[in-house]
Amino acid sequence: MNAELFESVDNYIGELLGHEDEVLKSAGRSVKDTTMPGANVSANQGKFLQVLARSCNARKILEIGTLGGYSTIWLGRVLPLDGHLITLELEQSNAEIAHRNIIKAGLDPIVDIRIGKALELLPAIEAEEIGPFDMIFIDADKPPYTEYFEWALKLSRPGTIIVADNVIREGKVLDTKATDEKVKGVQRLNKMLAENKQVTATIIQTVGSKYHDGMVIAVVN
């Protein structure tokens, strides 16, 4: 078993079930112009998020971390015409790229991009009483992942699906002496989940074109 095989299987699945139309392909290519080139989810992961959103009949989705809007499009396409997706992005330049992609996808009527630090934007969302959200996807800076998850719980309801990406980091989470702040951030989240009684949660390892990583999948009790 090796990375080449994992990527080949990823491509096989993608050709069968993770089809990208030109809008998604264009959004994927545009990520190279963001502050984190290549950091978007894969096509198969985007389809997986879409399946989860459909499984909970999502009408309201919150995304923490927009980047180029690639995952936003996968998620937004599940929503009904009166649905609502709020996505939070720190960088103005990334938000502008995402906005163009979202317009191309025809999703701008239901997608609201908010720019700034997520931990400052989330209290405002709570104050606006927009929630509860049916699905929340966390894919942003890793050190405050625990705080993002705690905010996700505040903005959820029983049955809300919460997903957090990049929580295995090529197995580096096993290093109890890790000094990388990203690794330490997801270690802290994973440990918190093991003790959290508000959700039923697990972590799924992922391999493929995005190497070896993993996603938290949690359902609010």
pLDDT of residue 91: 97
pLDDT of residue 24: 96
Indicate whether 208 belongs to any domain. no
**What total number of domains does the chain contain?**
1
For residues 146-170, average pLDDT: 97
CB within 8 A of 56, min separation 6: which ones?
134, 135, 159, 160, 161
Res 179 pLDDT > 70: yes
Indicate whether 214 belongs to any domain. no
Indicate whether 77 belongs to any domain. yes
Q: Compute the distance between CA of residue 216 and CA of residue 205 in angstroms, rounded to an integer.
A: 9
Indicate whether 180 belongs to any domain. no
Q: Tens of pLDDT along 116-131?
A: 999 999 999 999 999 9
Res 1 pLDDT > 70: no
Indicate whether 11 belongs to any domain. yes
Q: Compute the distance between CA of residue 96 and CA of residue 116 in angstroms, rounded to an integer.
A: 13
* DSSP per residue, the chain: --HHHHHHHHHHHHHHH----HHHHHHHHHGGGSSSTT-SPPHHHHHHHHHHHHHTT-SEEEEE--TTSHHHHHHHTTS-TT-EEEEEES-HHHHHHHHHHHHHTT-TTTEEEEES-HHHHHHHHHHHT----SEEEE-S-STTHHHHHHHHHHT--TT-EEEEE--STTTGGG-TT---HHHHHHHHHHHHHHH-SSEEEEEEEE-STT-SEEEEEEEE-
Indicate whether 41 belongs to any domain. yes
Tokens in use for 81? 């015409």
Task: Tell me the percentage of the chain whose pLDDT exceeds 90.
Answer: 89
Indicate whether 31 belongs to any domain. yes
pLDDT of residue 29: 95
For residues 1-22, average pLDDT: 87
Q: What is the CATH number for 103?
A: 3.40.50.150
Which range marks the domain in which residue 10 is found?
A: 3-164
Indicate whether 33 belongs to any domain. yes
